[in-house]
Structure 1
Amino acid sequence: MADPLIVTRRFKAPRERVWAAWTRPEDFAAWFGTEAVEVPPATVSLDVRTGGAWSAEMHLPDGDTVHWFGEYTEVDPPHRLAFTMNDDPAAPPYPEPVVVEFREMDGGTEMRLTQPRGDFSDEEMEEMRASYQGFFDTMEKLLASRGADGGA
C-alpha cells in the first residue's frame, strides 16, 4: 500500500474548538477552500454522525464550482473524525476515509489529517498537500478571530 498524505498542524485553540471548525457548517464554510475560494454557508451540510452525509460547494475564482460530498465513517468527538470525500458524482464513493485526529497539547491542539493515496500521482499528492496547508492557514485565522468559544 502506498504512503498516505499526512498533514500535521498545531493550533493555539482548545481541541473542542478545532473539532468545531470541522463540524459546524459556518466554520467549515469559512476555511474549506482557503480565502481565495468561496464556500457559501448555505451549501454546507454536515450530518456529523457515523453514516451521516456531508456536502459543500466550492465556487472557484475561475467561475467553476466543485461539489464535494461524502459520508462520515467514524465520529468520536473531539478525538477523531473520519469521512469519505469525492467531487465526482458519477464515480463510486472513495472506499478509504480521510482521518482527522485531534490531540491536546500545551497551549492548544495538534491536528493530524491522513488521506489515503489511492491512485493519485506524486504531483497530485503534492498539490493536495499544498491545498490542505492553505486550508489550515485559513483555519488558523478563523480560530484566532473567533476565540476559544467560537464566538465572534
Structure 2
Amino acid sequence: MPDYFTVVRTLGASKEQVFDVITLPEHFAVWFGTAVVEVPLESLRMEVWPGGQFRAEMKLPEGGAINWAGTYVDVERPSHVSMTLTDQPGSDPGLPVLFDIEEVGGATQLTISQDRSDFSDDQIAATIAGYNAFVDDIEEILQSPAQENA
C-alpha cells in the first residue's frame, strides 16, 4: 500500500482552468520546467487518457538533461489525474503521482500526492520543494491575461 506525501495549494481559478494547465502541453512545458530548467514543447508526449503515455525532456541549466516517462492511470476531467512518473525510463516503471482538483470556498484546491516509496526524508523535502515550484508556476500561468479570459 503506497504511503503518500502531499502538497496542497489553493488557486484562484476554476477547476477546468487548473486541469487544463496541468494537462495541456503548452502549459505543462512551462510549469514542469519552472524558471530554472527548460522543457522543450517538442519533447513532450502527453496522451492524457487512461493507459496513455507521458514523455518529457528536462534540460538542466548546467547542460545535462533528465528524461521523464510515465503512464496515465486515471483521468477524470476536471477533478483528477493519476499517473506514474520516473526519471529512469526503461528501468523503472515509476511512482504514482496524483493530481486532485476540488472547489473549496470559491477557489480551487490542488493537491499533488506522490508515493514516498524508498525516498529519504531529504529526498521527500526536495520533491516537495519542487512541487511547490511547479504550483508557483501553475499559479503564474493561471494569472496570465490569456488564462483569465479562458
The TM-score bracket by the shorter chain reads over 0.9
Structure-2 separation of matches of 1:85 and 1:149: 32
AA partner of residue 139 (structure 2): E
Change (3 A) 1:10 1:32: same
Gaps spanning 5+ residues in structure 1: where?
none
Shift of 1:5: 1.5
Calculate percent identity across the aligned residue pairs. 38
- What TM-score, normalized by structure 1, do the two folds share? 0.92
Q: State the Cα distance separating 1:97 from its structure 2 match.
A: 1.5
The answer for the alignment partner of 1:21 in structure 2 is: 21
| Aligned residue pair count | 149
User: After TM superposition, what 4+ stretches of structure 1 lie above 3 angstroms from structure 2?
Assistant: none
Q: Which residue of 1 aligns with 2:100?
A: 101
Residue 87 (structure 1) shift: 0.9
TM norm structure 2: 0.93
Letter in 2 for 1:98: V
1:1-152 counterparts in 2 under 5 A? 3-94=3-94, 96-145=95-144, 146-150=146-150
2:3–2:117 CA contact under 8 A, matched in 1? no
**Structure with greater strand share of residues:** 2
Root-mean-square deviation (CA), in Å? 1.5
The alpha carbon displacement at 1:4 in A equals: 1.9
The residue type equivalent to 1:133 in the other structure is N
- Following the alignment from structure 1 to structure 2, what is the Cα–Cα distance between the partners of residues 2 and 81? 17
Alpha-carbon distance in 2 for matches of 1:140, 1:56: 21
For the Cα contact (< 8 Å) 1:4–1:114, is it kept in 2? yes
